[in-house]
Amino acid sequence: MSKNTSKASVKRERTDLTIEDIPGVGPAIAQKLRDADYSTIESIAVATTTEISSSIDIGEKTAAKIINAARKMLKIEFISAKELLERRQREVKYITTGSEELDKMLGGGIETRTITELFGEYATGKTQICHQLSVNVQLPEERGGLEKGVVYIDTENTFRPERIVQIAESMGLDSREVLENIVFGRAYSSEHLIFLIKKIDEIMKEKNIGLIVIDSVISHFRSEYPGRESLVTRQQSLNKHLHDLLRVSDIYDCAVVVTNQVIARPDVFYGNPMIPAGGHILGHMCTARIYLRKGRENVRIARLVDSPHLPEQEAHFKITEEGIRDL
Ligand SMILES: Nc1ncnc2c1ncn2[C@@H]1O[C@H](COP(=O)(O)OP(=O)(O)OP(=O)(O)O)[C@@H](O)[C@H]1O
Ligand SMILES: [Mg+2]
């Protein structure tokens, strides 16, 4: 344990505009919007006309006006690719994984504004990486963090605050403060998980969140929708959930890390039969997919698959008492 603890300072920011500031939203409509969980300008800006008009019982025209006004306020509009590149260079940030080799493979670390997926068999380090990132995101930028907090959603009951303490202290951080900056939620079903994501808007603003962890994104969906008959319903529900996540990551400028299980394809006889669960939907929505497997002892091998702008490659790291480290 390090005696030389320093503060993991998380900057608190707030924007002062509320939904009442949207032109056309009076107190009565504002109340109805809040009751229907549209409590921020962002959540209204990305909603559809039908969603708003049906959930608060107003005409489609009025709903469209409100949505457009919200979009104007947030400046959601078309931009040129050059502007997009400049915006990405300015706005996309990276969280260090704790291993330089792994960061290098990822082009700098875990990227904000996208969903990164960690998949692999049991004990390959998915949950350990999630713990490590929950500490690292709180570091100042020069140490590879964002100086922001975490929302950690656990579906498998494997989050351990004790492990956070161990990792934080090995890095010379004040572990109590690090724990304060992790908002923890246990999701008991897929519906509950979707409900928690809907509630995230409020937390995002209040706590200045830089990372959302969902460990694991798929387990409830798989157990609640077994068999082929329910596959379509399951995928639709998963799709909606992932869209919500992507929207949150983009609007609030944060990273999303989800873990996933692997399944063995019965029709593969040569090579590796293990593929990520969740099908195409998960594949489409995750910008970086990292396949983890075990090496000898505590060594783990990460392979980047399906990245839109990085080559497929591998990195080695190890899981230690102190957390994720280079070999
Ligand atoms: N405090 C620690 N010190 C060293 N190694 C640890 C520590 N805690 C856990 N580990 C190692 O981490 C590995 C477990 O990794 P992890 O829980 O991240 O797996 P996982 O990929 O999430 O698996 P699952 O699919 O079962 O959720 C084990 O090999 C374990 O030995
Ligand atoms: Mg796990």
- In this structure, the answer to whether residues 118 and 64 fall within a common structural domain is no
pTM over 0.85: no
- In this structure, the answer to whether residues 153 and 190 fall within a common structural domain is yes
> pLDDT digits over 49-79, tens only?
999 999 999 999 999 999 999 988 887 667 7
Higher pLDDT, 291 or 239: 291
Ligand 1 lined by 127 (C-beta under 6 Å):
yes
Does residue 7 lie in a domain region? no
SS3 37: coil
Mutate to test the pocket of ligand 1, among 1, 117, 127, 156 (most ligand atoms within 8 A of CB): 127
Range of the domain at 211: 87-325
By mean pLDDT, which of 20-29, 153-162, 261-270 is the weakest?
261-270
Cα of 205 vs centre of ligand 2, distance in Å, is 28
Alpha carbon separation from 111 to 195, 200, 244, 257, 322 (Å, rounded): 25, 20, 18, 9, 23
> pLDDT digits over 272-321, tens only?
778 888 777 777 788 889 999 999 999 999 999 877 788 889 999 999 99
Give the domain CATH number at 273: 3.40.50.300
- In this structure, the answer to whether residues 56 and 144 fall within a common structural domain is no
Cα of 294 vs centre of ligand 1, distance in Å, is 11
Higher pLDDT, 244 or 293: 293
- In this structure, the answer to whether residues 29 and 93 fall within a common structural domain is no
Give the domain CATH number at 52: 1.10.150.20
- In this structure, the answer to whether residues 141 and 184 fall within a common structural domain is yes
pLDDT given for residue 304 in this prediction: 93
Residue spans of alpha helices (H) in the chain: 27-35, 41-45, 49-56, 60-74, 81-91, 100-105, 126-136, 161-170, 175-180, 190-207, 219-224, 231-251, 279-285
pLDDT given for residue 8 in this prediction: 54
Residues in CB range of 318: below 8 A, 6 or more apart = 298, 299, 300, 324, 325, 326, 327
- In this structure, the answer to whether residues 133 and 37 fall within a common structural domain is no
- In this structure, the answer to whether residues 181 and 34 fall within a common structural domain is no
Cα of 200 vs centre of ligand 2, distance in Å, is 22
Residues in CB range of 12: below 8 A, 6 or more apart = 207, 208
Going by pLDDT thresholds of 50, 70 and 90, the confidence category of residue 179 is very high
> pLDDT digits over 112-148, tens only?
998 999 999 999 999 999 999 999 999 999 999 999 9
> pLDDT digits over 2-23, tens only?
444 454 545 544 457 899 999 9
Number of independent structural domains in the chain: 2
pLDDT given for residue 158 in this prediction: 96
Ligand 1 lined by 320 (C-beta under 6 Å):
yes
By mean pLDDT, which of 178-182, 204-208, 313-317 is the weakest?
204-208
Q: Which residue minimizes the CA distance to atom 1 of ligand 1?
A: 321
pLDDT given for residue 124 in this prediction: 96
Rounded Cα–Cα distance for residues 20 and 27 (Å) = 7
Cα of 242 vs centre of ligand 2, distance in Å, is 19
Alpha carbon separation from 81 to 151, 275, 311 (Å, rounded): 32, 34, 22
DSSP secondary structure of 239-308 = HHHHHHHHHHHHHTT-EEEEEE-EEE-TT--SS--EEETTHHHHHHH-SEEEEEEE-STTEEEEEEES-S
pLDDT given for residue 10 in this prediction: 56
